[in-house]
Structure 1
Amino acid sequence: MTRVAALHIAPERKAPMVAVDHVEVEAGRGVVGDRYHGTRHRHVSVQSLSELAEAGAEWGRPVAASATRRTIAVDHGRIPTTPGARLVVGDVELEVVRKAAPCRVMETSVGPGAARAMHDRGGAICRALTSGTISVGDPVVLDPAAEGSAVAAGTPPP
């Protein structure tokens, strides 16, 4: 099973990312205490450590989860990037808004060439459909429809 490997927030734009053990998510608003809380659609960003490892192999050195400025890093798997796709992290349901493109900040925070290596491996930008707590170690369902979950039936997770 896929699990939350790391959580990072930044209280304001360009502030350093801070590793945390858990985050509170508000439906329609995002992660409490994060710079994107209250934005229209960019509530939560999700990436995969296995995709970061692929990028690191292509780039020639490791890419740290905190350096990508994503909120949630899962331990393995492919993050869905199709708008409208859903995933469940802990007890929070997320909806993909768009693919997360590697940001220009990565060229300085990670190093030259990192953004190119992250192309199509940057994860997803999501909106929070439900409220709840997400903690390191929580289970992650990357494709609820394939697993026949309540999300696939159109009902929120318990």
Structure 2
Amino acid sequence: MDARVAALHVAPERRAPMVAVERVQAEAGRGIVGDRYFGTRHRHVSVQSLEELGEAATARGAPVPAAGTRRTITLDHGRVPTTPGARLRIGGVDLEVVRKAAPCRVMETSVGPGARRAMHGRGGAVCRVLTSGPIAVGDPVVTEAAVSGPAAG
């Protein structure tokens, strides 16, 4: 079964509380309209998975809520690709993985003690927006692995 968008969160500025929304507008080359990272060079959007949050909660021994990680898009299941160049199509919007999303020290206050360590290796990916369009809770998600270079032959 393909993954779907389980939750969307934005913050209008750094350190502002994350706000759950039903729909966002992605703009190619700029990010999510209204989010703190809109217009940044590469960190347009971050993607995580409820499955990986569940693993982090088990490791931590306490819940790890999606909003507490400060990620923009949360998928309902599966693993988020983290290899640079991998692609995700969410609804009609194409994203490209730039890098793994490393857990930051802010999680120690936004989620609680032990969150940063529990999220290690489970933080999802930071992506750039390649095509414009809306993204909504419930949208389907299709992933495509990164191309590793010319085929041998």
**For the superposition of Structure 1 and Structure 2, which TM-score range results when normalised by the shorter chain?**
over 0.9
Between the aligned partners of 2:60 and 2:123, the Cα distance in structure 1 is 14
Counterpart for residue 45 of structure 1: 46
Counterpart for residue 28 of structure 1: 29
Counterpart for residue 123 of structure 1: 124
Counterpart for residue 99 of structure 2: 98
- Which structure 2 residue ranges, 5 or more long, are not aligned? 148-153
Structural mapping, 1:1-158, within 5 Å: 1-143=2-144
Give the number of equivalent residue pairs. Answer: 146
Structure 1 residue identity aligned to 2:107: M
Contact 1:94/1:127, CA 8 A, preserved across alignment: yes
Structure 1 residue identity aligned to 2:142: V
Per the TM alignment, residue 142 of structure 1 is displaced from its structure 2 partner at its CA by 2.4
- 4+ residue runs of structure 1 moved beyond 3 angstroms? none
Q: Could you tell me the TM-score, scaled by structure 2's length?
A: 0.93
- Which structure 1 residue ranges, 5 or more long, are not aligned? 146-151, 153-158
Which string of whole-angstrom CA distances, capped at 9 and with x for unpartnered residues, describes residues 83-118 of structure 1? Answer: 111111111000000000001100111111111010
Counterpart for residue 148 of structure 1: none
Which string of whole-angstrom CA distances, capped at 9 and with x for unpartnered residues, describes residues 6-64 of structure 1? Answer: 00000000000000000000000000000000000000100000000000011101100
Structure 1 residue identity aligned to 2:122: R
Between the aligned partners of 2:142 and 2:83, the Cα distance in structure 1 is 15
RMSD of the alignment, in Å?
A: 1.2
Counterpart for residue 150 of structure 2: none
Contact 2:86/2:145, CA 8 A, preserved across alignment: no
Per the TM alignment, residue 144 of structure 1 is displaced from its structure 2 partner at its CA by 6.5
Between the aligned partners of 1:7 and 1:140, the Cα distance in structure 2 is 13
Contact 1:8/1:72, CA 8 A, preserved across alignment: yes
Structure 2 residue identity aligned to 1:109: S
Q: Could you tell me the TM-score, scaled by structure 1's length?
A: 0.90
SS of equivalent residue, structure 1 residue 16? coil
